[in-house]
Chain A
Amino acid sequence: MILPALFFYLFAGACIASAFMVIAARNPVHSVLYLIFAFVNAAGLFVLMGAEFLAMILIVVYVGAVAVLFLFVVMMLDVDFAELRQGVLQYLPFGALIGVVMLAELLLVVGAWVIGPGVPRAITAPIPADITNTEALGRVLYTKYIYYFQAAGLVLLVAMVGAIVLTLRHKAGVKRQNIGDQVARTRDTAIEVVKVRPGQGL
């Protein structure tokens, strides 16, 4: 049992260290790279917990799409991040003080924590051990949870329509390709056969 524990500390330590470097790094590109590293370590933690599907999704969605998007934005926008962050370390003691006070308050609250008497009864379905969680998700996603799946699809449709409504501009006077017109051309409409007599021209 020593190996999982070792890996846990490796991933957790690397995750926290890289998360700290995200806010401490001077170069914004380095920050994004540290963020990616933090995501990968979090995925490792998920694998240790047996949630391999979540781990892969974290890699695919956050590392593959979101972090790359961040990287693009950081590289495209000419924002002086170093100037924006000036004074962060100056405010660090004050921020840390507030953090400590909040932590103390939370601990006091958690100290008086009582789980309701009906709660253990409500937890019914145990996690099945014989199938992988990708398979388990696949079995219910399109059957039991079809409603949520379709609703999420509608949310994405609204997002797409919204993005187009708010950004697409039709410029007048731009010539666009009309494939229908192009395909519908026949020899009769496209060329004209002309008899040219010698010496006369058209």
Chain B
Amino acid sequence: MTAATYLPLYPAIPEIVLAIGAMALLMLGAYRENSTQVVNLGAVMLLIAAALIVHWLPNGVTFGGSFVVDGFARFLKVLAFLASAVAIVMSLHYQAAEKQRMFEYSILILLSAVGMGMMISAADLIALYLGLELMSLALYVVAASNRDSVRSTEAGLKYFVLGALSSGMLLYGCSLIYGFTGTVAFTGIAKATQGGAGIGLIFGLVFVFAGLCFKVSAVPFHMWTPDVYEGAPTPVTAFFAAAPKIAAIALFMRLAIGAFPGIVPQWQQILVFVAIASMTLGAFAAIGQHNIKRLMAYSSIGHMGFALVGLAAGTAEGVQGVLIYMAIYLAMTLGTFCCILAMRRAGGAVENISDLAGLSRTNPALAFFLALLLFSLAGIPPLAGFFAKYYVFLAAMQAGMFTLAVIGVLASVVGAFYYLMIIKTMYFDEPAEGFVPMPGELKAVLGVTGLFNLLYFIYPAPLLQAASAAAKSLF
């Protein structure tokens, strides 16, 4: 026998901290009554601590090469952990007001954040699948967490059944890829596909991409999104729209660029189709919506289409564009959901766009911030959302994909229509009954995200440099 060798565990410290912390908080919540607030606070602290550790840790590879920490992983992990922490903060008031206090909510979000970290760092197919399943399983449960509401349980069940189907497709693709390359490691697959790939491998690639498209809710695997977004409790929807999208896009990029650099034209055409279909559907289907959560679902489908434009370019500039896009998308979405969570009258929460009528007179500050975020989502300069789109379209043009970029610009013009409709309702319609005052933590999140969107153009360098360094580490 050889002497025992110890694994260098340090690259995985953030995930280990989160997992052990989640188990400790689970014990605390289960054995101490009324400890929900302590658990929530502990979960937020753990996520922030994990994000800081990720920021400070050096790069490294562990677990036999299946767990990689590079600049790319660190950039996205910080985003995903912070988005999860903000999602817990945003749920505090809602849970108290709706009498749905339960400590398991933040624990499930913690465990799902562990899954996201594993997905972002995954460097082989098994780690990819396990991370994805850990994240999704927790998401299914939180979608159904308001179990007395038929809509919430329906959302959870729908998400679960369709998610299981997509996992099946992903696994089928993984097994085909393994069968045709003889390895599960991304580096090994890259080596085996250097000189092109046979039909069997392309088959597997298509199935894996289909599974991942489901997770980022890109067309044609988007059907679950509007129903789940509408049915799930609003803070859960805010969480769904932010952190899991980051992890899934990260996985998409690492798989496409890390494992299949030899067959770029083959996956490029899939991504071009998916991006165009998502952008167009997101732009047109949102127009007829009355429920603002449903509208945000279609908006997120469209935004995933825009992000995939950058990946379809297949270059370092494209990946940098996607990274910036995801960071800005995160700020826009979390801010907008703060406004949606603030839509609460004495009788309870409301979610129709018509409820926002005349908000500029009843609550001018909220109306201003919501208008700002919606302008940013529409991509109107000089707000951050414009720059997000600018970088991905620029990368697509540099890669010679002019048609894709033109269709993207046209789709964002159509998409601007429904964002402007909401702003028109807020500023020019007869005022409806006002909302109850907004809780402090939502104000803080809204303020930070709103100001980020407003002032990004003054000093974009830090984000640009971080994203550029992160993108280079992938190639």
Contacts and interface: CB of A to CB of B under 8 A. Distances in A.
B118 interface: yes
Given A148-B130, A161-B141, A118 B108 contact: no
Contacts of B147: 166
Contacts of A115: 180, 198, 200
A146 B133 contact: no
Interface residues of A, number: 29
A151 interface: yes
B126 A148 contact: yes
A2 interface: no
Interface string B129-167: 011011001101100110100000000100000000000
Contact of A165 (B102, B127, B193): B102
Given A144-B64, A148-B127, A159-B137, A119 B180 contact: yes
A160 to B, nearest CB: 10
B199 interface: yes
B192 A119 contact: yes
B295 to A, nearest CB: 28
B181 interface: yes
Given A115-B180, A154-B19, A162 B134 contact: no
Interface string B445-461: 00000000000000000
B175 interface: no
A116 interface: yes
Interface string B175-200: 00000111100001101111111111
A158 B181 contact: no
A147 interface: yes
Nearest to A163: B141
A25 interface: no
A155 B133 contact: yes
Given A161-B107, A162-B138, A165-B145, A112 B131 contact: no
A159 B107 CA distance: 12
B114 to A, nearest CB: 6
B141 A166 contact: yes
A114 B192 contact: no
A154 B198 contact: no
A106 to B, nearest CB: 10
A177 B233 CA distance: 35
A84 to B, nearest CB: 18
A151 B141 contact: no
A122 B137 contact: no
Contact of B181 (A122, A152, A154, A164): A122
A165 B104 contact: yes
A144 B138 CA distance: 27
Given A148-B127, A154-B111, A123 B182 contact: yes
B26 interface: yes
Interface string A155-184: 101110110111000000000000000000
Interface in B1-18: 7
B144 A166 contact: yes
B66 interface: yes
Nearest 8 A/B pairs, CB to CB: A123-B182, A162-B141, A147-B63, A151-B130, A122-B192, A118-B192, A114-B198, A122-B182
11 contacts: A112-B199, A116-B181, A116-B192, A116-B195, A116-B201, A122-B189, A122-B191, A151-B131, A161-B141, A162-B140, A166-B145
Interface of B: 7, 19, 23, 26, 63-64, 66-67, 102, 104, 107-108, 111-112, 114-115, 118, 126-127, 130-131, 133-134, 137-138, 140-141, 144-145, 147, 156, 180-183, 188-189, 191-201, 203
